């Protein structure tokens, strides 16, 4: 059809007008015909069945009945209020229809002894069934209506309902839209895909999503439209990746030289796992090609991402380039600095750290060494993004916990490389980018959010690590838990006890940190036991001092809030107690658990909760007890919370899907990605005759500022 008709402003649709048009814009983001067409129903009411009055049950369910109004009366109900009551009959019996408002208009418009279809909830008073404020339609109009037996229920808001834009009105608008466009919508998928997947045509899919003729046709329409939405997202992401690899020339790391080989042969603290070897190979292939690397490295807490990052930095050094590692917090930056310095202590490499706490004299040295190229590896926080920080030859940027950094922050690093293409005024050559995360992202979410990044996964823990044993205990078991902690301390182990809140909140009866600290101090008294405390309101110097005491083994117990969620690596800490564990999300519980199990000893995680648990809380506790697999946990988390919450604020609104659902439709997503990859391998510019319609649709979608413009 003529695409320009779908671009018509919504107020021009018959039955809409300026006022409703303004409401639809503000409340549902519907600006034009195309937006209304893509307002898909939330659910459907099955109106395929017509009940007889003698079949009605007192079930409070919605039913529809064909019959006639045979009598109308007004009944007083005290305090001068009236209600309108109509007797409605079919061949099997009679019931009452009741209205408490709008009686005058209803009384005038009701026709006696004319067949109606009524729809609504049935209740029973004594022996009589009645229906309050039923939807009514003359049987002749009902038969002639476009409306199907499966009645759609559209998304709405309180304001729309208050202003009279009911579901029925939106349904009428939709009918008018199909009349004005004659339901002629352009096909945008190639014929071979329609045939291979047995997809119904676009016209039929759109008609049956709004006016389904049967459950079967509705299912076919939903599959077709979900597939199409996910297919175009994947086309966008994979095309973006291909274009970047084609256009953005990378820095070729051709040498595997002295630093890398010496470290690998002589200084590796343990044999790399097969997963680490596989990931390193994938990264080396990227670094050796002429394209810029943009890779996401996923690995559970303790899976050995840092050592992979260091080996990539050694490759950069072997090829004459500098590297940087950016972490979201000072604690984590310090841990990376200490860990990498220890691993590389026998190599001739200059490594420094830059954070908000770095002294001015140190900063001057760092700035100078970065610019003259004598500083090989810089580790830091957001401080690395300051304008003063400039590199001579930045070849590799490693970003840890990437979801805490926005796109603009990453692009700042790109511009700092100090490397330009040979031409006069040539563009900056960006460094290779390795993004690391210990938050396992479900595969479906990764394919949609980071589909333009290449993804590597370390799905294996280093040898010698014992799986952490996790148990769920109620507050009433506290004495047994405390006895267990004392036994562990007697063996020389250390304990974390984590609380969700710092100060007591009137609204929440969860144990707060200070209360907990006092009662633990009573149960684990000096001089036999020594306790550290750590929370977000402490000064950085005090936090570091408490962490240092615990790391040095001077304290047995660390009472903390979630500030220890990222960072801290203390092999001797073997027990993690999480108080009010029902207050935490699954990924947070998993991250906290990952703080123990760093040494060779058996480690434990104890989830303490009250007896009152919601269903979701029970699922979270059961999942934690059942598995240590971060990816399995992230899949459960996705089902419980949905994609928006998991990605955090930086990514919110990214997956603004209109009909597909990443949790329920992951099989369709994988199918769509498979076909998108296949198509782009075969015909990336979409120039073959069979792809002409697809190419047009693709260009049209690419122009619009939709979800795809926001993706990394």
N residues, the chain? 712
Q: Quick check: bond before 343 cis, omega within 30? A: no
**What distances in angstroms separate CA 590 from CA 111, 347, 559, 607, 617, one per listed residue?**
65, 35, 18, 11, 14
Question: Tokens 């979201």 — which residue?
Answer: 328
CA distance 213 to 445: 33
Name the residue with higher pLDDT: 511 or 141.
141
What six digits make up the tokens of 15? 């039955």
φ/ψ region of 93 (left if φ > 0, alpha if ψ in -120 to 50, else beta) reads left
pLDDT (tens digit per residue) in 350-377:
999 999 889 999 999 999 999 999 999 9
Q: Examine the pLDDT at 509 and tell me if it is beyond 50.
A: no
pLDDT (tens digit per residue) in 178-204:
999 988 888 999 999 999 999 999 999
pLDDT (tens digit per residue) in 55-75:
888 766 788 999 999 999 998
Other Cβ atoms within 10 Å of 505 Cβ, number? 10
**What distances in angstroms separate CA 661 from CA 43, 60, 667, 676, one per listed residue?**
14, 31, 11, 18
Average of pLDDT values for 701-705? 69
Average of pLDDT values for 454-472? 85
From 36, 55, 30, select the one nearest 174 (Cα to Cα): 36
Q: Examine the pLDDT at 642 and tell me if it is beyond 50.
A: yes
CA distance 268 to 306: 12
Q: Are 499 and 561 in contact (CB under 8 A)?
A: yes
Q: Quick one: pLDDT at residue 643?
A: 62
pLDDT (tens digit per residue) in 415-451:
787 776 654 445 678 899 998 987 777 766 776 666 6
From 274, 476, 461, 313, select the one nearest 397 (Cα to Cα): 313
In 282-376 the beta strands, taken as DSSP E runs, fall at 294-299, 322-326, 351-354
Average of pLDDT values for 597-618? 90
Q: Examine the pLDDT at 143 and tell me if it is beyond 90.
A: no
pTM of the model: 0.66
Name the residue with higher pLDDT: 701 or 510.
701
Rounded to 5°, the CA angle 482-484-485 comes to 65
Pairing of strands 394-400, 432-437: parallel
Average pLDDT for the chain: 85
What six digits make up the tokens of 105? 């208009």
Q: Examine the pLDDT at 507 and tell me if it is beyond 80.
A: no
Name the residue with higher pLDDT: 564 or 261.
261
Q: Quick one: pLDDT at residue 184?
A: 83
Q: What are phi and psi for residue 403, nearest 5 degrees?
A: -65, -5
Interacting residues of 252 by C-beta distance below 8 A, sequence separation 6+: 287, 288, 289, 290, 319
Q: Examine the pLDDT at 464 and tell me if it is beyond 50.
A: yes
């Amino acid at each position: 059809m003529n695409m320009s008709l779908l671009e018509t402003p919504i107020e021009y649709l018959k039955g809409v007008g300026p006022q409703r048009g303004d409401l639809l814009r503000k409340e549902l983001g519907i600006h034009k015909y195309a937006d209304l067409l893509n307002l898909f129903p939330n659910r459907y009411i099955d109106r395929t069945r017509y009940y007889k009055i003698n079949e009605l049950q007192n079930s409070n369910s919605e039913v529809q009945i064909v019959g006639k109004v045979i009598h109308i009366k007004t009944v007083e109900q005290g305090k001068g209020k009236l209600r309108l009551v109509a007797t409605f009959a079919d061949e099997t019996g009679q019931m009452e229809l009741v209205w408490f408002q709008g009686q005058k208009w209803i009384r005038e418009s009701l026709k006696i002894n004319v067949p109606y279809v009524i729809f609504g909830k049935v209740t029973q008073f004594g022996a009589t069934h009645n229906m309050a404020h039923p939807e009514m339609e003359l049987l002749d109009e009902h038969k002639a209506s476009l409306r199907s037996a499966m009645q759609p229920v559209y998304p709405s808001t309180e304001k729309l309902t208050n202003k009279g834009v009911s579901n029925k009105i939106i349904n009428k608008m939709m009918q008018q839209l199909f009349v004005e466009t004659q339901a002629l919508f352009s096909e945008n998928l190639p014929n071979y895909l329609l045939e291979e997947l047995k997809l119904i045509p676009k016209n039929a899919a759109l008609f049956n999503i709004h006016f389904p003729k049967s459950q079967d046709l509705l299912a076919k329409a939903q599959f077709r439209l979900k597939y199409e939405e996910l297919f175009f997202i994947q086309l966008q992401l994979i095309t973006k990746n291909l274009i970047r690899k084609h256009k953005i020339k990378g820095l070729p790391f051709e040498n595997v030289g002295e630093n890398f080989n010496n470290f690998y042969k002589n200084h590796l603290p343990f044999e790399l796992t097969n997963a680490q070897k596989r990931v390193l190979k994938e990264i080396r292939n990227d670094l050796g090609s002429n394209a810029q690397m943009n890779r996401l490295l996923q690995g559970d807490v303790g899976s050995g991402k840092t050592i992979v990052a260091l080996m990539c930095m050694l490759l950069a050094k072997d090829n004459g380039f500098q590297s940087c590692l950016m972490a979201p917090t000072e604690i984590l930056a310090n841990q990376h600095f200490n860990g990498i310095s220890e691993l590389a202590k026998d190599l001739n490499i200059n490594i420094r750290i830059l954070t908000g706490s770095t002294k001015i004299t140190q900063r001057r040295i760092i700035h100078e060494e970065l610019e003259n190229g004598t500083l090989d590896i810089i580790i830091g926080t957001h401080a690395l993004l300051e304008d003063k920080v400039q590199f001579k030859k930045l070849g590799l940027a490693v970003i840890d916990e990437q979801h805490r950094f926005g796109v603009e922050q990453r692009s700042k690093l790109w511009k700092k490389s100090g490397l330009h293409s040979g031409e006069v005024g040539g563009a900056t050559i960006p460094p290779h980018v390795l993004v690391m995360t210990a938050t396992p992202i479900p595969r479906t979410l990764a394919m949609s959010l980071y589909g333009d990044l290449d993804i590597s996964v370390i799905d294996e823990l280093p040898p010698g690590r014992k799986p952490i044993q996790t148990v769920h205990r109620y507050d009433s078991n506290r004495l047994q838990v405390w006895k267990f902690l004392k036994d562990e301390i007697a063996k020389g182990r250390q304990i974390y006890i984590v609380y969700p809140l710092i100060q007591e909140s009137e609204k929440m009866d969860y144990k707060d940190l200070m209360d907990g600290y006092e009662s633990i101090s009573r149960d684990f008294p000096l001089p036999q036991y020594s306790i550290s405390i750590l929370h977000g309101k402490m000064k950085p110097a005090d936090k570091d001092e408490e962490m240092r005491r615990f790391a040095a083994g001077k304290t047995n117990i660390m009472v903390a809030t979630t500030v220890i969620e990222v960072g801290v690596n203390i092999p001797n800490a073997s027990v993690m107690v999480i108080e009010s564990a029902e207050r935490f999300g699954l990924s947070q519980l998993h991250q906290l658990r990952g703080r123990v199990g760093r040494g060779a000893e058996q480690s434990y995680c104890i989830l303490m909760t009250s007896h009152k648990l919601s269903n979701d809380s029970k699922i979270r506790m059961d999942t934690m007890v059942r598995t240590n697999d971060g990816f399995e946990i992230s899949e459960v988390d996705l089902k419980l919370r949905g994609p928006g919450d998991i990605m955090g604020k930086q990514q919110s609104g990214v997956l603004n899907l209109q009909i597909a659902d990443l949790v329920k439709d992951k099989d369709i997503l994988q199918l769509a990605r498979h076909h998108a990859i296949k198509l782009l391998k075969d015909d990336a510019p979409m120039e073959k005759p069979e792809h002409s319609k697809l190419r047009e649709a693709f260009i049209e979608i690419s122009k619009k500022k939709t979800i795809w413009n926001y993706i990394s």
